[in-house]
Amino acid sequence: MPEQAPVEAESGRGSLARTLRYLREKAGISLGKLAEDTAYDKSYLSRLESGERLSKLAVMEDLDRYYGSGDLLVTHWKGARREAFKDQYKEFMGLEATARVMRLFTPGVPGLLQTEDFAYEVLSGGQTAAGGRELVEEQVAARVGRQYLLRQDPVPDVRVIMDEFAFRRPAANMQTWRDQLLHLETVAMWSNTVIQVLPFSAGVHHHMNGSLTLLWQKDGSAVAYKEGNGCSELIEDPSETLRHRLSYDRLRDLALSPPESLAFIRGVLEEHRS
């Protein structure tokens, strides 16, 4: 009996594209009619159905409502979004998606709290090749899409420590920067989220060269994830994770309190309003 060629597993993006086509065809409507009903460009919708583009999360939410498909497209989109990242980061993202407690330190504004325009400015800086804009748009969609984690049910308990450096290097576009600061102010007032600022006056510290994320699951298990200098590391060993938790606690002790940090953010906002 001749050997059969192995069947290549369908990509997350391919599965999403196939589901988009299936739902439209099942509804018996053309791409033109879908574009008319949803106000999305026909060529854009076509590229989603062919798997050429990855949409923003909001587009999938709109189409789920249009088709009455529950969260089917959103679920497929989450799988497709992970393909935009490296393997180790995909593993981290899987743990992040189910975490009940999240602790972050970042030298800049973390992707989890970036506005769409700010993320675009950050990610577009290194793009010089032709077609770079489309690639950046997909990266922005994937990054901003992570923010659904902060409003899922049940919401995670989140604490973010940001170095003062994050507030002293604004976006080039002042409106983008003001909007980003306003978003941080809003998030700082959410019941499940705490933002703390690590001031320059705290001096040098042991996480100056990168970010640290700690995640706890419902069963109490924890991991640490470090990024910096172009490298990343997912740490699952309990003793190493505990060591990073203690290092995070030391940074928290050096940071401004949550009320002081909110006042700091508002102070920076006033500086840029004047």
Q: What are the backbone angles phi and psi of residue 31, rounded to the nearest 5°?
A: -60, -35
Q: What are the backbone angles phi and psi of residue 48, rounded to the nearest 5°?
A: -65, -40
Total structural domains within the chain: 2
Pick from 52, 82, 112: which residue ends a domain?
A: 82
Proportion of the chain above pLDDT 90, given as a percent: 59
- The pLDDT, as a whole number, for residue 84 is 54
Q: Between 226 and 79, name the one with better pLDDT.
A: 226
- The pLDDT, as a whole number, for residue 87 is 57
* Domain CATH code at residue 33: 1.10.260.40
- The pLDDT, as a whole number, for residue 206 is 84
The region of weakest confidence among 159-173, 188-202, 225-239 is 225-239
- The pLDDT, as a whole number, for residue 267 is 97
Summarised one tens digit per residue, pLDDT across range 66-79 is: 999 999 998 888 77
**The pLDDT of residue 8 is above 60:** no
Summarised one tens digit per residue, pLDDT across range 101-123 is: 999 999 999 999 999 999 999 99
**The pLDDT of residue 126 is above 70:** no
- Chain mean pLDDT for the chain: 88
Q: Answer for the pair 71, 79: CB distance below 8 angstroms, yes or no.
A: no
Q: Answer for the pair 96, 215: CB distance below 8 angstroms, yes or no.
A: yes
* Whole-number Å distance between alpha carbons of 84 and 11: 11
Residues 91 and 200 in one domain: yes
- The pLDDT, as a whole number, for residue 15 is 87
Residues 135 and 262 in one domain: yes
**The pLDDT of residue 82 is above 80:** no
Q: Between 102 and 93, name the one with better pLDDT.
A: 102
- The pLDDT, as a whole number, for residue 28 is 94
33 three-class SS: helix
- The pLDDT, as a whole number, for residue 127 is 56
* Whole-number Å distance between alpha carbons of 27 and 151: 31
Q: Answer for the pair 123, 66: CB distance below 8 angstroms, yes or no.
A: no
Which segments of the chain are extended strands (E)? 101-106, 157-163, 193-198, 211-216, 222-228, 231-235
* Whole-number Å distance between alpha carbons of 238 and 20: 42
- 164-181: average pLDDT: 94
Residues 57 and 126 in one domain: no
**The pLDDT of residue 7 is above 90:** no
Q: Which of 60, 38, 36 is nearest to 49 (CA)?
A: 60
Boundaries of domain holding 109: 87-273
- The pLDDT, as a whole number, for residue 5 is 41
| Helix (H) and strand (E) counts in the chain | 12, 6
Which range of 45-49, 173-177, 226-230 scores highest in mean pLDDT? It is 173-177
103 three-class SS: strand
- 150-167: average pLDDT: 94
State the pairing for strand pair 193-198/211-216.
Answer: unpaired
Q: Determine the residue type at 124.
A: S
**The pLDDT of residue 6 is above 50:** no
Residues 124 and 251 in one domain: yes
Residues 139 and 225 in one domain: yes
Residues 19 and 128 in one domain: no
Pick from 49, 82, 115: which residue ends a domain?
A: 82
Give the model's confidence band at 2: pLDDT under 50 very low, under 70 low, under 90 confident, else very high.
Answer: very low
DSSP-derived letter for residue 152 is S
